[in-house]
Amino acid sequence: MTSQISKQFAAIIVFVFMSVIYLHAQQSDADAMLNQLAQLKRIEAMQPDSIGPKYQLALQSLNFAVMNPHAAQTDNVLAQAEQTIGQMEKMKGMDQSDLCTLKGFLLMVRIVQNPAQNGQRYYLDVMQNYEKALKLNPDNTLARQLQEKFLEGMKQATGPNRQ
């Protein structure tokens, strides 16, 4: 039984690794990203009690949304990500630092979609989620990177060089 679980986990890791490489090679191709999301959704459906596939589905959905904030599919992708994050909140063993990172990323995408409407509304929540993630796990690289990108984007949006 354990070896079958290990094989499934190894297969997921290989798939995710290949997907990340593929997505980086095809970042400008929204259709390729949507296909990858569909594959992740199938894997997640096959393992509904597993955190790993849900985490990757949510993360890649948010990556798609931040790179394609105004694409026709973005609202559906974001709704799916939000639902997946909600499911993860209820799971035992979910890393709270990772959960806070995903929540912050979701709100950050909302700001990217509509800065004028959502910037003030979600700014504090984004910062609080990233800060909590880093307090829970100071080695959370994704939380640190997203926090830095967010602060950089906010400086550009409000700085003296704004056009």
When computed from its CA atoms, the radius of gyration of the chain, rounded to whole angstroms, is 16
Task: Spell out the residues 6+ positions from residue 45 whose beta carbon is closer than 8 angstroms to its own.
Answer: none
- The Cα 53–Cα 57 span in angstroms is 6
Q: How many CB atoms lie within 10 A of CB 122?
A: 18
- The Cα 40–Cα 103 span in angstroms is 19
| Confidence (pTM) | 0.81
The length of the chain, given as a count of residues: 163
Q: Is the pLDDT at 92 greater than 80, yes or no?
A: yes
Q: Is the pLDDT at 58 greater than 60, yes or no?
A: yes
pLDDT in tens, 9-39: 555 565 555 665 655 554 457 889 999 999 9
pLDDT of residue 24: 54
C-alpha separations of 7 from 10, 98, 99, 146 in Å: 5, 24, 26, 32
Tell which phi-psi region holds residue 93, choosing left (phi > 0), alpha (psi between -120 and 50) or beta. left
**Nearest 5°: CA angle at 129, between 163 and 49?**
125
Amino acid at 143: A
Closest by CA position to 93, among listed 123, 137, 49, 132 = 49
Res. 156 pLDDT band, cuts 50 70 90: confident
The answer to whether residues 127 and 148 touch, using CB atoms and an 8 Å cutoff, is no
Q: 46: which 2 tokens?
A: 């096959």
